[in-house]
Chains A and B, each alone.
Chain A
Amino acid sequence: MKNKLIALVGSPNSGKTSLFNALTGSHQKVGNYPGVTVEKKIGEFEGHDIVDLPGLYSFDTRTLDERISKRVVLGKSKNLPAPDLLVVVVDATNLKRSLYLARELKELGRPMIIALNLFDLALKRGLELDLSYLADFFNCPVVPTSSVAKGGVDGLKKSISREIEKDAGISEIDDKSWLKNLRDLGFIQKAFGDIDRILAKSTKKNISPDSFTERLDRVVLHPLWGSVLMLTTLVLMFELVFEWAGPLTEMIEDSFSWLAVQVNGIIPEESLWNSFVNDGILAGIGGVLVFLPQIILLFFVIMVFEDFGYLGRMAFLLDHFFRRLGLPGKSVVPLLSSHACAVPGMMAARTIENENDRLATMLVAPLTTCSARIPVYTLLIAAFIPAQKVFGPIGLQALVMLSLYMLGIISSFIMAFILKKTILTGTPSRLLMELPGYKTPRLSYVLRGLWIRTKLFLQKVGKVIVVLTIIVWALISFPRQENGVPDLENSYAARVGKTLSPIFKPLGFDWKLTTALIPSFGAREIVVASLATVLAVEGEEDDEGFETKLATRVKTEYSLATILSLIIWFVFAPQCLSTFAILKKESDSWGWTVFMGLYTTGLAYFGSLIVYQIFS
């Protein structure tokens, strides 16, 4: 028997992916479609391949993800054959809308099954339906499904096994005229008319309205209280994420200092290898893992919001404000995610249809304060801002940290405004989007999304950080003196720093600071370690009191003006190499990638210059 291909298609909120998980269990592999970073999810079902396609409302497609679904369905994807069977997943709680996709596919005349998903929910809300009319009209099996209820996919499984055995043979399809027809207003009106007619015939009892969503939206989308609620939610979100991430980050730091001690027991401390393992490899890996708690927690909250249905509502609430800046409300998701890590944040911009809006969003995303900048800010704040309380319990240091966050957000807004007014002109994408009913967030969905984003961070960012830490270590450690002791003053890194130092002098940076800045082009977070190295602070990075020692050292060495200038540098300076790599991939343009490097460097340089000149 030939191994066949089943494709799962459906609208974004039809619960298609949970159905896919229920059908395939753990037999899944996740890859990418050629040339793009859209996830390709393939699972196994009774010896056949089953692919979960990106969600779409119509095959008259607009976004990158939607086009991929269209290409696969039409057998035009480079590395997938034409599917032998289509499973159209529709939302049973809103058939009037969701059957439209099935109606489009009916014209294509390919073997298909309609899965009325979330059927248990629809039943609970009183829907009574005679499926036979639907099956007659669409001329294909119509199966109620539920990915939550026990045995909720049994019917679909049986139906798939039956249909896949039928050797209908794939007839040549005239996809050009099919697609053209989808863009015919007459067809659209007729399609909805058909759906209304069939539903009128088959519905014995209408579904009751989603009163929960209606009632909740009255508060969440209230012109005044909705905004208050949103701001409170965002502040609480960041507050909780940092509160919870703290102990976890410490645990990771502790285990790495434990590891370093173990290494000292095996390799003599004075040897080059000890330094390589501890300051190169372990520092690199530790540098990556330290961010995981924050990133995971922040993405966890964002995923919960998304599944609950709040993210779309935030886009609605902010749309008008964003529009003034020239961005669509949908930019809120990429910009919010960028506070964890800009790499998945920039990828989240994919839902933005207008190319100029998507580019503008991606270009300004690195200005928001990603979690990698926190250690640098913390160090510099600890060095120069007195730990006194201002408004009651709020400390001055916390206030400065908050202002740096605001500076990141505001500058990304201003930059977006400038970009949209100058080079990326055009009206922002239409708001036009469906706000799905609220759902209880599903743990499996949230965890899966979390895993995908974390993996992305580890793969794209992690590798770069580890490699760069090792390179930086080498630059700092070589050439060695004749007796084998590293000689920082004459190291390769210092030579570069000294050469560049005239350029950075007006910003108040001496050659040591300049040297410490070099690795920051690779990954921001290495700076703390390299600062310690160039200032020759004794002790391991993970030692207790290390940060305090380093902070004191910075304080004695540099003036307030220099520190402020350095902070401003870090707000704007080009982010880690990974952001450039992902921009290159997502924009498919070297031009924009170089542009991002130039404009962030420019902002950082002149920002620092102004600050230093004012305060010195």
Chain B
Amino acid sequence: MTLFDLSKGQMGKILIKSIDILEENLVLRLSQMGFIPGEVVELCTTSPLVKGSILVSVRGARIALAKSEALHIHVELIS
């Protein structure tokens, strides 16, 4: 499951499993923002009309990211 597949109000804890992005700069940037394996994430909201971008909370910060990135962040659900 990826970050993009999360739905609002999902129960349980969501942990980041891995990031499969080839672009090194982007991986670094995501990591510096706290997207690293083992971190807890939560979906806050999605963009209007079409689900094109999402807002998630990670390490106490609310971070907006686009579908293109969210699709490559794999998560796992721990109930």
Q: Residues of A with Cβ closer than 8 Å to B?
A: 57-58, 60, 62, 94-97, 100, 183, 185, 188-189, 192, 213-214, 217-218, 221-224, 226-227, 312, 315-317, 319-320, 323, 329, 427, 430-437
A320–B45 touching, CB < 8 Å: no
Q: What is the distance, in angstroms, from B24's C-beta to the closest C-beta of chain A?
A: 8
Contact assessment for B63 and A433 in the assembled complex, using a CB-CB cutoff below 8 Å: yes
Are A58 and B32 within 8 A (Cβ)? yes
Known: A319-B52, A431-B53, A434-B61. A183 touches B66 (CB 8 A): no
Structural contact, A223 and B47, CB atoms closer than 8 A: yes
Return B26 CB to nearest CB of chain A, in Å. Answer: 7
Return A314 CB to nearest CB of chain B, in Å. 11
Tell me if A320 and B47 are in contact (CB < 8 A): yes
Known: A96-B59, A221-B55, A316-B53. A185 touches B47 (CB 8 A): no
The answer, among A58, A94, A188, A316, for a CB contact under 8 Å with B55, is A316
* Interface residues as binary, B38-61 with A (CB distance below 8 Å gives 1, 0 otherwise): 010000111111101101000111
Closest to A315 in B: B64
* A189 x B31 contact (CB < 8 A): yes
Which 3 A-B pairs have CB atoms at the shortest separation, nearest pair first?
A320-B52, A431-B66, A94-B60
Complex partner residue of A320 from B28, B50, B59, CB under 8 angstroms: B50
Q: Is the CB of A432 within 8 A of B63?
A: yes
Q: Which residues of A contact B61 (CB under 8 A)?
A: 94, 97, 434
Is B62 interfacial (CB-CB < 8 Å)?
A: yes
Does B36 reach chain A (CB closer than 8 Å)? yes
Q: A323-B52, A434-B62 are in contact. Are A317 and B34 (CB under 8 A)?
A: no
Interface centre among B28, B60, B62, B68 (most CB of A within 10 A): B62
Residues of A within 8 A of B71 (CB): none
Chain B residues with Cβ below 8 Å from A427 are 68
A97-B34, A183-B28 given; A317·B48 CB < 8 A: yes
Distance, CA A227 to CA B47, complexed state (A): 9
Q: How long is the Cα–Cα vector from A319 to B48 in the complex, in angstroms?
A: 10
Query: Would you give 8 A-B contacts (Cβ < 8 Å), ordered by A?
Result: A60-B29, A188-B28, A192-B59, A223-B49, A227-B49, A317-B48, A320-B66, A434-B33
Task: Check if A60 sits within 8 Å of B60, measured CB to CB.
Answer: no
Nearest B residue to A101, CB-CB: B32
Query: Across the two chains, which residue of chain B brings its CB closest to A191?
Result: B32
CB distance from A234 to the nearest CB of B (A): 15
B17 to chain A, nearest CB (A): 14
Do A430 and B59 have beta carbons less than 8 Å apart? no
Q: Is B65 close to A, CB under 8 A?
A: yes
Asked if residues A430 and B45 are in contact (CB atoms below 8 Å), the reply is no
Q: How far is the CB of A437 from the nearest CB of chain B, in Å?
A: 8
> Are the C-beta atoms of A435 and B36 separated by less than 8 Å?
no
Q: How far is the CA of A222 from the CA of B55 in the complex (A)?
A: 11
A218 to chain B minimum Cβ distance, whole angstroms, is 8
Please tell me if the beta carbons of A185 and B69 are within 8 angstroms of each other in the complex.
Answer: no
B61 to chain A, nearest CB (A): 5
